[in-house]
């Protein structure tokens, strides 16, 4: 009974997409969107989200669900399954998508854009749900391709030269990634004769010679789609030039889907194959992504480009967890880390969607999104700027946001497994994130152009700054010697 | 025949690597697309080779079904990429865009000398 919900999660948006294609009116030779179109979109969005909410509730109460479509079992049939991980990602993705749909009804002023937006958007949604629910590796490949095609077409919706060129590149890169992934799937099928993930997880206990190659191929293909540094080059132009609701979905959901697959494969299938060295490669790439992405976000001149580079950095954080997961033996500590990385992915999904939607409003209102010329936005659009600040605080990882807890657990894991290098990376990423968010906010609140120099009178300002810095950072971080000075026993250590 | 299977699968791998190489080094969109399709052809070769289960057994139907699906996906993706490429050419008739072949710059006497010299290799 509740397993049937899995089929509806894919079928409802797919049907909605088809309905949206035919919901047009003809005026002479011209095809125009019918006034019903927004309603078709909104109703489909609401129904899909309801299905997912019920499904998440069912997984919560009864544990994992599995459905074999049409009664055809493996290997020929298509199976859908939902466990805790996929339910969590689905709930996030569908809530974000519902919000984005609502936003889209107000965003698209031009009839033409809405006409093309809805079918592609609902198709993307169906692919996303299918991807999170897929139980076998080939079904995943089909959903990945569907997602890539719909995403590239949506990204190019504005029709501007930059958008078309960036999304053509995105499409080609995505095809390269999924072909590489497919070769890995073919190798796994050669070795084990099945593509069902739970069957594979059972037989892959003892790693064979092809497993390593399949791991490298599949991870590389998916990392390209997840925009892991240095394979992120396609992301900033593609996400920054898309219409705002599309940017939100691309950054918050589509990239996350590829990351979800890597996480799932590494946790379930490749756990015996993936060595610590392999996970270290992912971790180091993630660290480079955090630093490089945050730095580029800080230097970005446009708000949407800033948000896109911030996505590169946030994807990096997710990959920082891999060396910790590899170094932690299965048990409560390992589960804690898995929960932390999922929580970070969910938080980033909501935060980045909110940031991109708000950036779209700023862009519409101001006619541009050049950060330096956004003075006074807070006076015109207070709620929008507040949304940017809220999403920003979550990107920085301020308490009580979800990413605060995740970063806390990340650093705790780094200390416990002795991987100290993660701490300065996470700390510098956090500082840079604070810098780029506050850079936007300070511009948005300022009516006058702010002074170009940070320090205006060194003799008077530097002492004030130093004293403030000591109270804010130095005393907190280096409080230990105080105990010694006072002759007290330091923290009950002895 | 094991050797036939091995040759077929090996050829698939070679095609895949050739496709990646060509995709990475060539700029024009059409060449990149052909490269991607050659990569895909390589993967399909490998899948067909897997399906072979000896002369006295029917081939495994699953990889063959996968190849059919894969071909459909590859055709649609190629079509979308070509459509985007056409759009890009329409938007920028003058300068050479990132992914399209050097478009024949018809009727625009901007750089007559270069045009005359370079027309030999532009069809």
Query: What are the contacts of A415-420 at 24+ separation with CB within 8 A?
Result: A416/A328, A416/A333, A417/A323, A417/A324, A417/A327, A417/A328, A419/A283, A419/A323, A419/A324, A419/A327
Assigned domain for A99 exists: yes
Residues B99-110 pLDDT 10s: 444 444 444 444
Residues A117 and A166 grouped into a single domain: no
Residues A122 and A84 grouped into a single domain: yes
Confidence of residue A425 (pLDDT cuts 50, 70, 90): very high
Residues A336 and A463 grouped into a single domain: yes
How large is the ipTM? Answer: 0.82
Residues A470 and A351 grouped into a single domain: yes
Which site among A139, A168, A169, A237 would you substitute to test the B interface, given the most B Cβ atoms closer than 10 Å to its Cβ? A168
State which of A134, A162, A179 marks the end of a domain: A134
A170, A247 Cβ separation under 8 angstroms: no
Highest mean pLDDT of the ranges A71-75, A410-414, B117-121: A410-414
Residues A181 and A114 grouped into a single domain: no
Arithmetic mean of pLDDT, A156-179: 91
Question: A404-443 as b/e, with b when 16 or more CB fall inside 10 Å?
Answer: bbbbebbeebbeebebeebeebbeebbebbbebbebbbeb
Q: Which residue has the higher pLDDT, A393 or A72?
A: A393
Assigned domain for A319 exists: no
Instruction: Give the minimum alpha-carbon distance from A186 to chain B in angstroms, rounded to a whole number.
Output: 6
Please name the residues in contact with A175: beta carbons below 8 A apart, sequence gap of 6 or more. A145, A148, B36, B77, B81
Minimal CA–CA distance to A295: which of A304, A280, A306, A284? A306
φ, ψ (nearest 5 deg) of residue A241: -100, -5
A176, B110 Cβ separation under 8 angstroms: no
Residues A338 and A470 grouped into a single domain: yes
State which of A134, A155, A186 marks the end of a domain: A134
Residues A152 and A255 grouped into a single domain: yes
Cβ contact, residue pair A175, B42, below 8 Å: no
Report all structural domains of chain B as residue ranges with CATH numbers, in order of start.
2-118 (1.10.287.3510)
Residues A71 and A179 grouped into a single domain: no
**Cβ-nearest to A149 among B76, B88, B98:** B76
φ, ψ (nearest 5 deg) of residue A30: -90, 140
Q: Does the pLDDT at position B98 exceed 60?
A: no
- Provide the pLDDT for residue A491: 52
Q: Does the pLDDT at position A31 exceed 80?
A: no
pTM for the whole structure: 0.86
Please name the residues in contact with A167: beta carbons below 8 A apart, sequence gap of 6 or more. A152, A153, A155, A156, A238, A241, A242, B84
Structure-token match 């130093």, residue found: A466
Q: Does the pLDDT at position A161 exceed 80?
A: yes
Confidence of residue A274 (pLDDT cuts 50, 70, 90): confident
Residue A1, chain B, CB below 8 Å: the answer is no
Residue B84, chain A, CB below 8 Å: the answer is yes
Distance CA A331, CA A159 (A): 51
State which of A134, A160, A182 marks the end of a domain: A134
Distance CA A126, CA A136 (A): 17
Assigned domain for A491 exists: no
Assigned domain for A49 exists: yes
Q: Does the pLDDT at position B115 exceed 60?
A: no
Distance CA B29, CA A175 (A): 13
Assigned domain for A295 exists: no
The full DSSP string for A403-470 is: HHHHHHHHHHHHHHTT-TTHHHHHHHHHHHHHHHHHHHHHHHH-SSPPPS-S-S-HHHHHHHHHHHHI
Assigned domain for A284 exists: no
Q: Check whether the bond before A400 is cis (ω within 30° of 0).
A: yes
The residue range of the domain holding A225 is 136-274
Assigned domain for A307 exists: no
A258, A222 Cβ separation under 8 angstroms: yes
Q: Which residues pair with A190 in a beta bridge?
A: none
B95 chain-A contacts, CB cut-off 8 A? none
Structure-token match 């859908």, residue found: A80
Residue of B nearest to A157 (CA): B84
Cβ contact, residue pair A161, B98, below 8 Å: no
Residues A116-153 pLDDT 10s: 899 999 999 999 999 999 988 888 999 999 999 999 99
Residues A58 and A178 grouped into a single domain: no
Assigned domain for A195 exists: yes
A343, A350 Cβ separation under 8 angstroms: no
Residues A46 and A158 grouped into a single domain: no
B85 chain-A contacts, CB cut-off 8 A? 168
B63 chain-A contacts, CB cut-off 8 A? 186, 189
Residue B15, chain A, CB below 8 Å: the answer is no
Residues A89 and A149 grouped into a single domain: no
SS3 state of residue A79: strand
Q: Give kind and range of the element (H or E) at residue A308.
A: helix A303-327
Counting the structural domains of chain A, the total is: 3
Arithmetic mean of pLDDT, A392-413: 89
Distance CA B101, CA B117 (A): 17
Residues A146 and A111 grouped into a single domain: no
Structure-token match 């994130």, residue found: A433
**Cβ-nearest to B88 among A145, A152, A161:** A161
């Amino acid at each position: 009974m509740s397993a049937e919900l899995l089929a509806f999660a894919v079928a409802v948006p797919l049907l909605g997409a088809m309905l949206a294609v035919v919901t047009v009116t003809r005026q002479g030779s011209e095809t125009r969107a019918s006034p019903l179109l927004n309603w078709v979109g909104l109703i489909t969005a609401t129904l899909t989200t309801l299905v997912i909410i019920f499904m998440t509730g069912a997984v919560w109460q009864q544990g994992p669900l599995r459905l074999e479509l049409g009664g055809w079992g493996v290997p020929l049939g298509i199976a859908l399954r939902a466990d805790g991980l996929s339910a969590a990602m689905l709930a996030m993705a569908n809530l974000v998508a519902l919000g984005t749909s609502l936003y889209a009804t107000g965003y698209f002023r031009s009839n033409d854009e809405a006409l093309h937006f809805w079918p592609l958007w609902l198709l993307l949604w169906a692919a996303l749900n299918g991807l999170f629910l897929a139980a076998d590796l080939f079904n995943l490949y089909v959903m990945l391709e569907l997602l890539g095609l719909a995403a590239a077409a949506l990204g190019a919706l504005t029709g501007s030269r930059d958008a078309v060129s960036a999304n053509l590149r995105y499409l080609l890169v995505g095809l390269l990634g999924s072909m590489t992934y497919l070769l890995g799937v073919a190798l796994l099928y050669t070795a084990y004769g099945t593509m069902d993930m739970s069957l594979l997880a059972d037989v892959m206990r003892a790693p064979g010679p092809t497993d390593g190659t399949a791991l490298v191929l599949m991870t590389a293909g998916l990392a390209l789609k997840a925009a892991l540094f240095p394979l992120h080059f396609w992301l900033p132009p593609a996400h920054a030039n898309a219409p705002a609701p599309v940017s939100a979905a691309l950054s918050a959901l589509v990239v996350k889907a590829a990351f979800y697959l890597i996480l799932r494969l590494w946790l379930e299938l490749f756990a015996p194959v993936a060595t610590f060295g392999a996970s270290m490669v992912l971790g180091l790439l993630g660290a480079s992504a955090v630093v490089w992405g945050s730095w580029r976000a800080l230097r970005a001149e446009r708000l949407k480009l800033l948000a896109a580079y911030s996505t590169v950095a946030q994807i990096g954080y997710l990959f920082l967890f891999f060396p910790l997961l590899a170094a932690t033996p299965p048990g409560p500590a390992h589960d804690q880390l898995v929960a932390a990385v999922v929580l970070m992915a969910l938080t980033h999904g909501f935060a980045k969607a909110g940031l991109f939607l708000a950036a779209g409003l700023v862009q519409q209102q101001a006619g541009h999104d050049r950060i330096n010329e956004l003075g006074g936005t807070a006076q015109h659009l207070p709620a929008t700027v507040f949304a940017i600040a809220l999403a920003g605080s979550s990107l920085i990882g301020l308490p009580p946001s979800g990413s605060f807890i995740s970063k806390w657990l990340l650093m705790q894991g780094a200390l416990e497994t002795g991987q100290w290098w993660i701490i300065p990376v996470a700390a510098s990423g956090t500082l840079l994130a604070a810098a780029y968010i506050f850079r936007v906010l300070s511009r948005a609140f300022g009516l006058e152009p702010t002074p170009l120099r940070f320090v205006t009178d060194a003799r008077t300002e530097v002492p004030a700054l130093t004293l403030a810095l000591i109270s804010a950072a130095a005393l907190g971080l280096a409080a230990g010697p105080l105990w010694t000075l006072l002759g007290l026993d330091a923290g009950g250590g002895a | 025949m094991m050797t036939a299977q091995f040759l077929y699968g090996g050829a698939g791998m070679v095609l895949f690597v050739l496709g990646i190489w060509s995709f990475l080094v060539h700029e024009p969109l059409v060449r990149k697309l052909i490269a991607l399709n050659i990569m895909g052809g390589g993967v399909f070769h490998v899948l067909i080779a897997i399906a072979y289960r000896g002369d006295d057994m029917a081939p495994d139907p699953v990889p063959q079904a996968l190849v059919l699906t894969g071909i459909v996906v590859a055709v649609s993706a190629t079509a979308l990429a070509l459509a985007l490429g056409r759009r890009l050419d329409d938007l920028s008739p003058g300068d050479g865009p990132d992914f399209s072949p050097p478009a024949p710059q018809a009727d625009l006497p901007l750089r007559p000398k270069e045009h005359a010299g370079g027309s030999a290799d532009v069809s």
